[in-house]
A = this chain, B = another copy of it.
Amino acid sequence: MAQTPYKQLEQEWKRLHAFRGAMAVLRWDAAVMMPRGSADVRGEQLAALETEYHTLVTSPKITRLLDRAQASTAGLEDWHIANLREMRRQRDFAIATPVALVSRLAKAASKAEMKWLAARETGKFEDFAPHLEEVVHLVRDKAQLLGQSRNLSPYDALVDEFSPGLTSAEIDAMFKALGRRLPGLIREVVAQQERRPLLPITGKFSASKQRALSVELMKAVGFPFDRGRLDESEHPFTEGVPGDVRVTTRFDTSEPFQGFLGALHETGHAMYDIGLPAEFADQPVGRDRGMALEESQSLLMEMIVCRSRPFVRYLKPLLEKHFGVSGPEWSEENLYAHLTRVRRGPIRVDADELTYSLHIQLRYEIENELLSGKLAVRNLRDAWNAAMEQRLGFKPQNDLEGVLQDVHWAVGSFGYFPSYALGAVMAAQFYEALRAAVPDVDDQIGRGEFAGLMGWLRENVHAQGARVSPQELLKQATGKPLSAAASLRYLEAKYLHGEPVVGSAAA
Interface on A for B, CB 8 Å cutoff?
14-15, 17-19, 21-22, 25-26, 29, 33-38, 40-42, 44-45, 47-49, 51-52, 224-229, 241-244, 282
Contact A48 B25 (CB under 8 A): no
Contact A41 B244 (CB under 8 A): yes
- How long is the Cα–Cα vector from A41 to B25 in the complex, in angstroms? 11
Contact A25 B35 (CB under 8 A): no
Q: Which of B17, B37, B44, B45 contacts A224 (CB 8 A)?
A: B37
Chain multiplicity (copies): 2
The main secondary structure of chain A at its interface with chain B is helix
For residue A43, which residue of chain B has the nearest CB? B18
Do A48 and B35 contact each other (CB < 8 Å), given the known contacts A41-B243, A41-B244, A241-B41? Answer: no
Given contacts A18-B45, A19-B48, A35-B244, 12 further A-B pairs with CB under 8 A are A17-B44, A18-B47, A19-B45, A19-B49, A21-B44, A21-B45, A22-B49, A25-B26, A25-B45, A33-B229, A37-B224, A40-B243
Q: Which of B37, B47, B227 contacts A227 (CB 8 A)?
A: B37
The 10 closest A-B pairs by CB, nearest first: A18-B48, A38-B244, A41-B243, A37-B226, A37-B227, A22-B45, A18-B45, A18-B44, A21-B45, A41-B244
12 contacts between A and B (CB under 8 A): A15-B51, A18-B47, A19-B45, A19-B48, A21-B44, A21-B45, A22-B48, A25-B45, A29-B29, A35-B229, A38-B227, A52-B52
Q: Which of B26, B226, B242 contacts A36 (CB 8 A)?
A: B226
Contact B21 A228 (CB under 8 A): no
**Smallest Cβ distance from A341 to chain B, in angstroms?**
36
Residues on B with C-beta less than 8 A from A228 are 35
Do A243 and B48 contact each other (CB < 8 Å), given the known contacts A26-B22, A29-B25, A29-B29? Answer: no
Residues on B with C-beta less than 8 A from A15 are 48, 51
- How long is the Cα–Cα vector from A49 to B20 in the complex, in angstroms? 11
Q: Which of B18, B26, B225, B241 contacts A35 (CB 8 A)?
A: B225
- How long is the Cα–Cα vector from A24 to B37 in the complex, in angstroms? 17
- How long is the Cα–Cα vector from A225 to B47 in the complex, in angstroms? 24
Contact B33 A21 (CB under 8 A): no
Contact B21 A22 (CB under 8 A): no
Residues on B with C-beta less than 8 A from A49 are 18-19, 22
- How long is the Cα–Cα vector from A49 to B29 in the complex, in angstroms? 18
Do A243 and B19 contact each other (CB < 8 Å), given the known contacts A25-B29, A33-B33, A45-B25? Answer: no
